[in-house]
Structure 1
Amino acid sequence: MAINREWHATHKLPRNAKLDERLNWHVMHAANCDCREIPASIKRELEARGLSVPSPRSLK
């Protein structure tokens, strides 16, 4: 899995980020970096909201 260092440097997830901020960050992260999968808790919340869990390929 490759890390997109440039993306990570310019897109820091704030401390104490609200759930909506975390969801958005992880979706954008999946679209721009392959360093890890979306955490299970984020996947569950996306599904609970009726949103599809993105895969890196679906976002490119």
Structure 2
Amino acid sequence: MAINREWHAINKMPRNATLDERVIWHIKHASNCDCREMPPSIKRELLARGLSVPAPRSLK
């Protein structure tokens, strides 16, 4: 799994991020980097909101 260092440098997870901020960050992360899978808690939240869980870089 490759890390997109440039994207990570520009897009830091906000300190004390809310659940909404975490969900948004992980969706953007999945579309720009495939360094790791989305955490299970975020996947569950996406499904609870009626959204699909994106595969890494599937949204780009």
Counterpart for residue 58 of structure 2: 58
Counterpart for residue 36 of structure 1: 36
Q: CA RMSD in A?
A: 0.9
Aligned residues: 60
Counterpart for residue 4 of structure 1: 4
CA offset digits 1:11-47 (Å, max 9, x no partner) = 0001110111100000000100010000000000000
TM-score norm. by structure 2 comes to 0.94
Q: C-alpha displacement at 1:58, in angstroms?
A: 2.7
- Show structure 2 runs of 5+ residues with no match: none
Q: Which runs of 4+ in 1 moved over 4 A?
A: none
Identity %: 78
- Show structure 1 runs of 5+ residues with no match: none
